[in-house]
Structure 1
């Protein structure tokens, strides 16, 4: 299980748990992943909202909901996954997380 998948609803490939809590190894060369729980805790950070808007073209609806340009709601898990799927966005998210953690 990658760190960004921890706590998400979905079967763990190793044990079948509904909400995995064990973190396996990170993708080679990455090491900058932010778990979904940590991502969720950053949603009050204006810089994260700016990143989501600039990178993904999404606007916040409320504390944990986003919409695309057509007004369709985008699941928070998809927002997190999209940010983790791009090295630059992943790095920006990681830096936001680390600046708060310090």
Structure 2
């Protein structure tokens, strides 16, 4: 069964690829699981680089991210952003596919966004527009 974060979970562990030196953010529960590099796809064991600044207040939990995609008024703004950032295509509901038509798990979409400071900030702003 693939990894599924809990609604309140937020990725905050920074990993680094020993092959291409890409860094990305994963959930605590993913440590020890096979986590391919989003930069080069390497299955090499990533290096744990540390933690994100969880006190920044800019992270959007997985559950909140799902709600943004499920609500029609926010989905029409968030989905095009996700498609542009990650070069994926929305297939309806909570489904995304990559350029080859392969499904991209929603948890992966979420942590890739949370691992990029600018995208994380823009998603947070979208969430705060709804929460206020």
Give the TM-score range, shorter chain.
0.7 to 0.9
- Any gaps of 5 or more consecutive residues in structure 2? 1-7, 12-27, 32-50
Distance 1:62 1:28, change over 3 A: closer
What is the total number of aligned residue pairs between the two structures? 87
Q: Deviations over 1:18-42 (max 9, x none)?
A: xxxxxxx962673200000000000
Aligned pair 1:76/2:102, yes or no? no
Match of 1:36 in 2: 62
Which 4+ stretches in 1 moved above 6 angstroms?
none
Which is strand-richer, 1 or 2? 2
Give me the CA root mean square deviation.
2.7
Local SS of the residue matching 2:100: coil
Please point out which of 46, 53, 74 is paired with 1:27. 53
Match of 2:116 in 1: 86
